[in-house]
Amino acid sequence: MIFEQSSIRTITLKNKIIRSADESGYPTDKLLMKYEVLAKNEVGCIITGYAGIMQNGKTNYNNMLMIHDDSFIDSYKRITQKIHEYQTPIIIQIAHCGRQTRSKTTGFPTVAPSAIKDKFFNEQTPKELSEAEIYEIIDNFVKAIDRAKKAGFDGVQLHLAHGYLLSEFLSSYTNKRKDNWGGSTKNKFRIISEILIKAKQKVGEFPILVKMNAHDGRKGGMTLTESIEIAKMLEMHGCAGIEVSCGVHEDGLYTSRGNKLPLDALFKYNYTYKNYPSIIKSIAKHLVPVFTKKIKPYENYNVDFAKEIKKNVKIPVIVVGGIKSIDSIISIISENKADFVSMCRPFIIEPNIVKKFKEGTQTKSKCINCNYCLIAMEEITLKCFHGKLN
Ligand SMILES: Cc1cc2nc3c(=O)[nH]c(=O)nc-3n(C[C@H](O)[C@H](O)[C@H](O)COP(=O)(O)O)c2cc1C
């Protein structure tokens, strides 16, 4: 059941285990090799790390993929052609980072639905988007979808999760607009419906999936009741599938959970914290863990939410978040809580994890959720630290 071929619209997946997005760098030979290792090792489908649709929506992460002009089409074509040699589908995730970036990276002021400062990036208050700027963003999403199709991707995934721009529109925590783009769920969803309607006119039935938050843990933010409404709207607008996640950057460990704060990594790699005096760093290492509430559970934390969303739509539901073992995967799929599972960190430490599960040589990921990979990404190419900084 897990290792059988199945499909999402025109996309034939090798099995039900998907590589969820991670940051990967420019479409270079190195990236190609990384995806090739995943493809050779039986991954059901690859979802790339997010590719920026506009320069002012680029993330501060080292090597963020971009797809903001036509010159990218050919370099992505090399990737899709190679991965297709392994009969593995590949979907590109596209995003605008909204306020979750730094203007030193983008070269532009940060933008958001409303002028509310992000506490993690703590950089500057983002500029509230004008209606003309919203239409410019819609247009750029549609162009990026068209480029993805031309580059040979099997589909595209809109990033509506984790506090990036489209998720900022969906959540009342970040969207306080009083015009047509805020207030009711329908208004908050408008930017996404415009993208889906206009993209369909341009790319026809090319599969457009989304990754969305079922909830974001923010006061006044996204709740399951509203995310179910949004899932129904997505289905109505022809969305091909929904990957269910949670959280925003201000509380990154809500999305990628672990039982220990990655303070060492923050003090070494984070733009703000690395410059703290060493005395502050050593005091913080003792005190911060004591006063920080642990976000639990650490495993399978979006499954119950995905199950509720799945009850309300007919399109495929993918669930991500702390899925680590073949036993969990079997129970999620066989109990009909989701149609597919996706994993991110388990593939960083073991790109051949699906093969190991399939051959029965290993039943659980070796990932220890240290999250150093996530923090260090701001400065270096993605790698697994397995809890050791050096
Ligand atoms: C290093 C790293 C990079 C990530 N990059 C992305 C990304 O580009 N797009 C995205 O939607 N999620 C990204 N995520 C979140 C993961 O896709 C996933 O939702 C989250 O880590 C929970 O799944 P996991 O427990 O299988 O890691 C990233 C997570 C990590 C650890």
Atom number of ligand 1 nearest to Cα 49:
8
pLDDT of residue 293: 86
CB-based contact 242:209 (threshold 8 Å): yes
Q: For 81, phi and psi rounded to 5 degrees?
A: -65, -45
pLDDT of residue 124: 84
pLDDT of residue 284: 93
pLDDT of residue 26: 65
Q: Ligand 1 centre from 22 Cα, in Å?
A: 5
Structural domains in the chain, sorted by start = 6-257+296-367 (3.20.20.70)
Distance separating alpha carbons of residues 284 and 267, to the nearest angstrom: 10
Ligand 1, atom 29, lies closest to the CA of: 22
226 half-sphere exposure, CB direction, 13 A CA radius: 21
Amino acid of residue 170 = L
pLDDT of residue 64: 84
DSSP three-state, residue 189: helix
CB-based contact 189:170 (threshold 8 Å): yes
pLDDT of residue 62: 67
Most informative mutation of 216, 344, 371, 380 for ligand 1 (most atoms within 8 A of CB): 344
Of 335, 347, 301, 337, the closest CA to residue 317 belongs to 337
10-residue mean pLDDT series, the chain (390 residues): 96 96 73 95 97 91 86 94 98 97 90 96 90 98 98 98 98 98 98 98 98 96 98 98 96 91 94 92 92 92 98 98 98 98 98 98 98 92 92
pLDDT of residue 30: 87
Evaluate if pTM is beyond 0.85.
yes
